[in-house]
Structure 1
Amino acid sequence: MLAGNLTLASLLAARWVESGHFPLSNMYESLLFLAWGVTGVHLVVTERDGYSKSAVPGALAAPTALMVVAGATLALPPELQRASALVPALKSNWLMMHVSVMMLSYATLLVGSLSCVSFLLVDATQGFEGAKGALGFLDGLSEGKVRRRNRPRVGADGTVAAVMDAGEFPDDASPVLAGADLMREMDNLAYRCLGAGFALLTAGLISGAVWANEAWGSYWSWDPKETWALITWLVYATYLHSRLVAGKSKKEVATVGALGFVVVWVCYVGVNLWGVGLHSYGWFANK
């Protein structure tokens, strides 16, 4: 993950040198920046508060970054991957301050929302006998309890169990219910990421309003991009309110966070596919 993060950073730096402007002027560059942000979220999270031995953040961040880079490289046509001159509206220092904060917020929010999706999937599969042993084995991996000598065993009835040699668990520890530790860790990861992502999104909206007033003479014009950014903000505000104030169950809170995954992608990519509004420059609309 560190190598991938440094490689993406090097590529973005090379684009910056080649184009002469901050590499966030089109969909290709923003997707690479998003992947860099996702790997960066993993590196930050795994170095804090005991997460360094956990496999959960990497299991969510690595496939996400991989698919984002694959989409940017394989799905976008070559003409949209080339570095080009900035349109007049983007020739501002706000490009770096506003767009980079928004992209970092998207990266953080996506990892948090994927944690919510995973929480719901694990919760839904705990009733299946075949999943219980596998979830218990993942519990051990996420908590650092299972050592290399552990190995999965498939029983005659098709269930999967983790075989643990003597002494694999500390004297004061014992195997927990399948999925319990895993769900708790994903819930904590979601809260940490979505809380940080919400703060970044708020800063991005404020800086965007200031830039809009400078460029278009109005802080807010109900442009489709602005509207969906506000919808995204409201969804994650609902998540934090449900968790911290309303006292909703973890499943209900995770459902709101999982919904945010779809909303972020609509805000980030969907609006540009329609090619409408003041934010359509430099994206699909200019193909």
Structure 2
Amino acid sequence: MLKFIVIFLISISSAFAQMNVCNSDLDTFPVQAGGREKPLYVLALDTVKFMTGESKIQDMDATTAFCKLSLKAFGMPLEIPVNIKVDHVDVRKLLGMKEDQTTIPVSELEGKVGIMETELAQLKENNSYKKELSKVNSRLGTYAAIVNGRAWTIPVKEADKIKFLSIGEFMTQERVEGAAGRGSNPVSFLLGQAKSDYLGVKGDHYMLELKYFKWNLFVWALISSLLAIIAFVVTKNKIPGTIFTVITIALQIASMTLRVLISGRAPITNMYETVMFSGFGALVISCIIFAFRKEIVFILAGLGCNILGLFMMKFAHGMLDEGISPLVPVLRDNFWLSTHVSTVILSYAALALSWLIANSLLLRSRFSTVTSAEYRYQVDLIYTCIKVGVVMLAAGVILGGVWADYSWGRFWGWDPKETWSLIVLLVYMAILHGKYTSWIPPHRFVALVAGAFMSVMMAWFGVNYILASGLHSYGFSEGGAIFLGTFFLVQIVILVIGTVKMKKTA
């Protein structure tokens, strides 16, 4: 029996080697992971990024590397050095890593599993150290699942239905022998047949996700936004800037539409999507206000907010996960998800417009001369943005209470997310009231608006990344504490620069 097993493993290895099946042609192969069906390209890229923090392993693209690592389950003598990412400094010390070392070879990490498990068992507080240690352990577990043939799933047709088997379960001796002589290579034939069976039953809807990731429409939207700002600032003719702005909006609508078609829900369920939607929302709101006020400053502010969001989506991989995951049960209500969350995020977008204009005015007042008329004009623009933001935030908070009553049986429970949303609303209502009654002079109003956005960031990012408690746990994430701290520090510095010895303008 052992002889047959050895012969089978050798035949499988030879088949893979002869065909060189591990290449980018497998990008379109349908797999199941995370509760969804998707192209192998997406699974491989997400997995490689999770393990290593990179999109490639050596010079191999994610799909090729994932495939070759999976072949280890069949005795394929491949040496592919994989380095596991370790972000936390204290975890690196525990694992005996050097100060400048950010990854550790799998072969070395496997020898320290006992150390990690012992440390995890002793830790009581669920702090960032414990979370990172658990994540490193999970990354190693993901590697083990790949090389043991459990991570790559193959579609199998049974009575006009599709079920998925791991590649370790799928590539049986019986299947390989049955495919012998049917095509140039039995393994290639089996994979091709599996894909064909899947397409025949379910179609190619899953391929939308491959297009979404490969087209990189958000990157093109970022480029278009930058070109729009340059065009508005450099040229007196507003047509080029307007064209680039329209292109930006169209690209983002197309990308979000693809994301909706892939996930079957509104694109506002995690931090990545809220950043995406807020930047887009700020640009759209600025265009709507511009239609009434005819002030190009609104468009510039909207483009600025959009660029900030797109930059975060592109480069803040440590805190924003672009993956599309299944929803937790409480979020599986598209009506409330689309109304409550989108309204709150759009309110943040409008308040972000006021924040950007306020900070710009603070710095301009400090380093250049701003006339009283210009200053009051800018204050009026800020005031308009805040009014829009407060109305939308109030509506969002009320809608959230109704949804909470529907889902959890109570309208209000002083959950951290609820509490901070109320704090933001009260802060901005106080500022609005002070401005309306002239209790707050223009120069103080600008500084308050700039500083008030820190409450928005606390409600938006702080609850998810720092407090990480309460019923809104589905929105929690990691890696944003440094970002939030940096934001607060920079904002405080701008406030100090803009208010201390500020030039008299109003």
Q: How many residues align?
A: 234
Say whether 1:208 aligns with 2:429. Answer: no
Deviation at 1:116, TM superposition (A): 2.2
User: Which amino acid in the other structure matches residue 247 of structure 2?
Assistant: A
Q: Answer yes or no: is 1:105 the counterpart of 2:347.
A: yes
SS class of match (1:242): helix
- How far apart, in 2, do the equivalents of 1:207 and 1:73 lie? 31
Q: Find runs of 4+ consecutive structure 1 residues off by over 3 angstroms.
A: 178-182
CA distance in 1, matches of 2:347, 2:320: 27
* Partner of residue 430, structure 2: 238
Residues in 1 aligned to 2:398 and 2:313: alpha-carbon distance in whole angstroms: 28
Q: Which residue of 1 aligns with 2:306?
A: 65
Within a 5 Å distance, the mapping from 1:30-49 to structure 2 comes to 30-49=274-293
CA contact 2:404–2:412 (8 Å) conserved in 1? yes
| 1:181–1:71 CA distance, 2 compared to 1 (3 A) | same
Following superposition, the deviation at residue 246 of structure 1 comes to 4.5
Check if 1:196 corresponds to 2:438.
no
Determine if contact 1:195/1:240 at 8 Å carries over to the other structure: yes
Largest Rg, 1 or 2: 2
1:4-31 per-residue CA deviation (whole Å, 9 max, x = no partner) reads 1221121111111001111111111111
Within the candidate set 316, 319, 337, 1:75 is matched to 316
Retained in 2: the 8 A contact 1:28–1:80? yes
TM-score by length of 1: 0.76
Is this contact kept in 2: 1:39–1:61, CA < 8 A? yes
Work out whether residues 282 and 306 of structure 2, in 8 Å CA contact, stay in contact via their aligned partners in 1.
yes
Quick one: distance in 2 between partners of 1:87 and 1:206?
Answer: 22
Compared CA separation, residues 13 and 268, structure 1 to 2 (3 A) = same
Amino acid of the structure 1 residue aligned with 2:308: M
The answer on whether the counterparts of 1:116 and 1:254 sit within 8 Å (CA) in structure 2 is yes
SS of aligned partner of 2:293: coil
SS at match of 2:474: coil
Opposite residue 212 of structure 1, the aligned amino acid is A
SS in 2 for 1:281: helix
CA RMSD, Structure 1 to Structure 2 (Å): 2.1
Does the Cα contact within 8 Å between 2:340 and 2:396 map onto a contact in 1? yes
Please list every run of 5 or more consecutive structure 1 residues that lacks an aligned counterpart in the other structure: 126-130, 133-177
State the TM-score, normalizing by the size of structure 2: 0.44
Q: Displacement of 1:79 after TM fit? A: 8.4
For residues 152-163 of structure 1, the aligned pairs below 5 Å read: none
Match among 246, 255, 261 for residue 453 of structure 2: 261
Task: Tell me if 1:278 matches 2:503.
Answer: no
Q: CA deviation at 1:46?
A: 1.8
Match of 1:29 in 2: 273
Write the mapping of 1:113-262 to structure 2, written as runs, cut at 5 A.
113-125=355-367, 131-132=368-369, 178-262=370-454
- In the alignment, structure 1 residue 91 sits paired with structure 2 residue 299: no
For residue 154 of structure 1, what is the aligned residue in structure 2? Answer: none
Deviates more, 1:248-257 or 1:217-226: 248-257
- 1:49 CA drift (Å): 2.7
Shift of 1:44: 1.3
Q: Which residue of 2 aligns with 1:143?
A: none
Name the aligned partner's letter for residue 277 of structure 1: G
